[in-house]
Amino acid sequence: MIRKMKDEDTTKVMTIWTKGNFYAHPFIERDYWISNYNKVKEEYLKQAETYVYEENEEIKGFISILNNTYIGALFVKKDFLRQGIGKRLLNYCKERKEKLTLQVYEKNVDATLFYLAMGFKNIRIQIDESTR
């Protein structure tokens, strides 16, 4: 089931975010994610429209939309990858939004291929100044 995130989901969502970043971005120092944890928790999640995928009372993934069009996060717990959860979350938002955009690290090949398969187009390649 997909539902809007509640305040009491924050800790679980942030755990998925942290572990997901460590797993998906081994080319970025872990300290980068750790140093951004509070900003994401206290600022970003409060501004974003976030939906969770929940099954058997367990949150297995989430998607966050910022400014009504920008996918700022889409993470699925490692144990539940490749089970269609990310696709369900993304399609849920595609049905509700006229347009969606995102940025993905080129070195995150799995995510890049996923988004291409979901109909996104690569428009621009650029350097992320904060992570190089």
Read off the pLDDT of residues 87-106 as tens digits, 9 standing for 90 and up. 999 999 999 999 999 999 88
Domains of the chain: 2-100 (3.40.630.30)
Could you give the CA distance from residue 68 to residue 84 in angstroms, rounded to a whole number?
23
Residue 110 CA: distances (Å) to CA of 16, 23, 83, 91: 17, 11, 14, 18
Q: Is the separation of the CB atoms in 93 and 71 below 8 Å? A: yes
pTM, entire model: 0.92
Could you give the CA distance from residue 68 to residue 61 in angstroms, rounded to a whole number?
19
Query: What's 43's DSSP letter?
Result: I
Q: How many of the other CB atoms lie within 10 Å of CB of 63?
A: 26
pLDDT tens for 7-18 read 999 999 999 999
- In the predicted structure, residue 124 carries a pLDDT above the cut 80: no
